[in-house]
Amino acid sequence: MKYKAVIFDLDGVICHTDQYHFKAWRQIAQELGIAFDEEKNNRLRGVSRMQSLEIILEEYDGQLTDEKKLYYASKKNDAYVELLNDMTSKDIELDVKKTLNTLRQLGIKMAIGSSSRNAKRILSKIGYSDFFDAISDGTNITKTKPEPEVFLKASQYLSIDPKHCIVVEDAKAGVEAAIAGGMDCAAIGDAANYDMATFSINKLSDLLDILTD
């Protein structure tokens, strides 16, 4: 078997927290008098909190000090974390659960590779805090996607060479990060048609065909 490990992005692959990010960023945008919609929210996927704030501030008429930027980024995260309290195991689709269990039965190592600093909290809320063999997230990296650091750290934690890892991603920045790290990438969701991806899948269980081919 070519692949010995699968590294999953969290949001949009294992579960979906877009609605919580959207609500939290919308609160900040409204406070600053900035228009914020789903289209702009999609631009924030896979990038860091501070980078997300800079994207939102593109339409801001005033100027914020670095201190104020940190304040609003922190305020957004507080709102987001509060909203995450609504998450449960029901936020994972049955197809995802079955696929993860099958991969475990096949003996394939699994890791999370997420830019989020809240990854462990999310995994706990959905009942998967102890399921993955390794977790690489926003708390242990200095460069976010499209830099490959988060995925390279995951492969390092798994003790598996990047060339034997495949990444599952739903954001273009994540696909670019995987390829930059020397890993193949199965793109799903919004990134499914991205030509940089090694494979395109419609649902997570399609990954099984790739791994057992």
- Position 53 scores a pLDDT of 96
Q: What is the pLDDT of residues 3-53, one digit of tens each?
A: 999 999 999 999 988 889 999 999 999 999 999 998 888 888 767 889 999
Active site residue 86: no
Told to judge if 37 belongs to the known catalytic residues of this protein, a careful annotator would answer: no
Catalytic, out of 11, 137, 170, 184: 11
- Give the model's pLDDT for residue 43: 86
- The active-site residue, picked from 9, 137, 170, 184, is 9
At 120-134, the pLDDT tens digits run 999 999 999 999 999
3-state secondary structure the chain: CCCCEEEECCECCCECCHHHHHHHHHHHHHHHCCCCCHHHHHHCCCCCHHHHHHHHHHHCCCCCCHHHHHHHHHHHHHHHHHHHHHCCHHHCCHHHHHHHHHHHHHCCEEEEECCCCCHHHHHHHCCCCCCCCEEECCCCCCCCCCCCHHHHHHHHHHCCCHHHEEEEECCHHHHHHHHHCCCEEEECHHHCCCCCCCEECCCHHHHHHHHHC
**Higher pLDDT among residues 20 and 213, named by residue:** 20
- pLDDT for residue 213: 78
> Which CATH number is correct for 5-15+90-212, 3.40.50.970, 3.40.50.1000, 3.40.50.300, 3.30.450.20?
3.40.50.1000
What is the per-residue pLDDT for 92? 94
Structure confidence at residue 42 (pLDDT): 83
CATH class assigned to 18-86: mainly alpha
At residue 41, the pLDDT reads 87
Identify the pLDDT of residue 17: 86
pLDDT-derived band at 186, boundaries 50, 70, 90? very high
59-103 tens-digit pLDDT: 899 999 999 999 999 999 999 999 999 999 989 999 999 999 999
pLDDT band at 163; cut points 50, 70, 90: very high
Domain extent listing, the chain: 5-15+90-212, 18-86
Residue 109 pLDDT exceeds 90: yes
| Position 1 confidence tier, pLDDT thresholds 50, 70, 90 | confident
